[in-house]
Amino acid sequence: MNTEFILKAAQAVNAAILTHEAEIESLDREIGDGDHFINIKRGSAVVIGLQDELAGLTPDVVLQRIGMKLLSTIGGASGPLIASFFIAMAKSVKEHGGETLTEIAVAFTAGVDAIKSRGKADIGEKTMLDVLIPVAGKFTALAGQGADFASLLQALKQEASLGMQSTKVMIASKGRAAQLGERVIGHIDPGAKSSQVMITAVCDLALSLKQVRSLI
């Protein structure tokens, strides 16, 4: 993972979020607080605005600065959760490296664990973690097995999609959706959807780049 790829990934995520605006907003109106997409959109724009400032910095510093900026600019529940993801990733990259797929998987898992801790949530509660936790597990397993790079990325996309779809049959235990009881069954969680969109965007970017291993 290097700074060039992080900045390109931020651009890809921003574009993907905007492309899926109507879908995510609709999901949030159905079972959420109505501000999820607004906060995600604001966060993506903030990161894009940091591009010139971050260029040339080391990856751990870039991730740390992104996290701190998001913490101070995004409202709602999403801000602290997503900020904690980047801050934890930064710490992992600084301490353990972020050059190999195994090291990147460790950093990603650290970020997911930070969201779990901050949100006091886990898999099966109809949240973004129903995407993030399975993806982290799959990433760790495939990286440890030395899986082919393209196959690994395709598997992460599939895992994200499966995790997102799994929320459709769940009853929520967090946020406004928890107040709706069984009425949320049949609805995909908006945080799970936005997480799936972001993971897919980053994987697609990695797949599209030439000599991607040297970029990441």
95 contacts 72 by C-beta, under 8 angstroms = no
Per the prediction, the chain carries an average pLDDT of: 89
Q: What is the pLDDT of residues 21-55, one digit of tens each?
A: 999 988 888 766 667 888 889 999 999 999 999 99
Q: How far is CA 46 from the centre of its chain?
A: 16
The CATH number of residue 118's host domain is 1.25.40.340
Task: Report the C-alpha gap between 18 and 206 in whole angstroms.
Answer: 19
Q: What is the per-residue pLDDT across 162-211, written as a single tens digit (0 to 9) for each?
A: 999 999 988 776 666 555 556 667 888 999 999 999 999 999 999 998 54
- Confidence at residue 211, expressed as pLDDT on a 0 to 100 scale: 44
Percentage of the chain beyond pLDDT 70 is 88
Predicted confidence band at 107 (pLDDT cuts at 50, 70, 90)? very high
Which has more pLDDT, 172 or 135?
Answer: 135
- Quote the number of domains for the chain: 1
Please check whether residue 152 is in contact with residue 127, taking contact to mean a CB–CB distance below 8 angstroms.
no
Q: Give per-residue pLDDT as tens, 72-93.
A: 888 667 788 999 999 999 999 9
Q: What is the spatial distance between Cα 202 and Cα 179, in angstroms, rounded to a whole number?
A: 33
Domain range spanning residue 97? 3-215
Residue 157: strand, helix, or coil: helix
Q: Where are the alpha helices (DSSP H) in 32-185?
A: 36-49, 51-54, 59-73, 78-96, 101-119, 129-144, 149-166
CA 138 from centre of chain: 14
pLDDT at 213 over 70: no
pLDDT score of 65 more than 60: yes
